[in-house]
Chain A
Amino acid sequence: MLLCMTARAAESETLKAGIFNPARAAPDFSVQGSDGTPLTLSHYRGKVVVLAFGYTHCPNVCPVTLAILAQAHRNLGALGAQMQVIYLTVDPERDSAERLRQYLAAFDATFVGGTGTAVQMAAVRKAYGVTAEKVGDAKDYAVAHSSFVYLITREGKLRALMPFGHAADDYTHDISLLLN
């Protein structure tokens, strides 16, 4: 118990991301995976899950975030097999499972996307406190959305939140700490 508390204290002193204390259980979800099979968070218990919200038409935040996560994954080397990036769409209207698969493959073939009905995806966003708002009415509308990324421990705890703007090295650092 004491060892566990000491480890938690050391972790909170050193993570680059924002830390939740105490960490709560990350809300589970069941949506359609980009590989065509159901995607649940609990399926990845045992891995550190990096959970991002965005959409494939996103012009700036999402490509940057996904490129950074891909770099962090490469930086981790063999340890990278113990992390999983999950990218949930905030634009289920346009983001089909196949579109997500193609989009994510351009960054990293191991990344998994998730989509579903508008109601399903709104429920997941609500559980995580993520905001998403459609901007414009035209066909090429945008979605203003939360840009942070959640870090979920092997035990399924929502441990940390990385704001947009952190470098790949910061992710590598924090994911390594959470893995160890």
Chain B
Amino acid sequence: MGVVRLSHKHPWIPILAAAALSTVAWAAFTPVIFASREETFEIPKGTWARRMAGNKVEILPSHVYLTVGIRDVLLLKNQDDVPQIFGPTLMMPGQSFRLPFEVASSYQFACTAHASGQMTVVVDPQPDTPWRRLVWRSRRIFRIVA
């Protein structure tokens, strides 16, 4: 009875509840699909020159998030004219480095490009059940907002 009275007073509440329920249902039951399994980071041409000129250039975040089976490949590209330490490795001009991950875990790499000297690749498990998809999507929103 209380709910009926509340609906009369605030007719938008059932609409909001239905919308929230639909969103949760969509997040839980719609498969997670990416066009590519590769998460790509690129050092553009002229980066070294900009750094030498005193500009701060951040390309690779200190934390990279991947997901097994969906987006589980880290692809680094050096398009600059000079060799660069990029992520865990030294890359020549024009070279790319493609690193696949098969196991969900947190991977630490030494990376001189970061002040901490470390780069972390967090690989989440495959969201293959409604509950996992819901958690995966919530976590993704949280990481984007944070």
Contacts and interface: CB of A to CB of B under 8 A. Distances in A.
Given A163-B107, A163-B109, A165-B107, A129 B90 contact: yes
Given A146-B88, A148-B88, A161-B89, A19 B98 contact: yes
Contacts of B89: 18, 20, 129, 148, 161
B99 A18 contact: yes
B104 interface: no
A161 B98 CA distance: 10
Contacts of A16: 100, 102
B120 interface: no
Nearest to A22: B95
A63 to B, nearest CB: 19
Given A131-B110, A146-B110, A163 B99 contact: yes
Interface in B57-110: 74, 85, 88-92, 94-100, 102, 105, 107, 109-110
Interface in A20-47: 20-22, 24
Contacts of A128: 90
Interface in A113-161: 128-129, 131, 144, 146, 148, 161
A12 interface: yes
A21 B96 contact: yes
A163 B102 contact: no
A15 B102 CA distance: 11
Contacts of B74: 18
Given A131-B110, A163-B109, A165-B107, A12 B88 contact: no
Interface residues of B, number: 20
Contacts of A22: 94-95
Contacts, number: 50
Nearest to A146: B110
Contacts of A129: 85, 89-91
Nearest to B88: A148
A24 B85 contact: no
A73 to B, nearest CB: 22
A118 B65 CA distance: 38
20 contacts: A16-B100, A16-B102, A17-B99, A18-B74, A18-B89, A18-B100, A20-B89, A20-B97, A21-B97, A21-B98, A24-B95, A129-B91, A131-B110, A146-B88, A148-B88, A161-B89, A163-B99, A163-B107, A163-B109, A165-B105
Given A20-B96, A163-B109, 18 more contacts: A15-B100, A18-B74, A18-B88, A18-B98, A18-B99, A19-B97, A20-B95, A21-B98, A22-B95, A128-B90, A129-B85, A129-B89, A129-B90, A129-B91, A131-B110, A163-B88, A163-B107, A165-B105
Q: Which 4 A-B pairs have the closest CB atoms?
A: A129-B90, A18-B99, A19-B98, A21-B96
Interface of B: 74, 85, 88-92, 94-100, 102, 105, 107, 109-110, 112
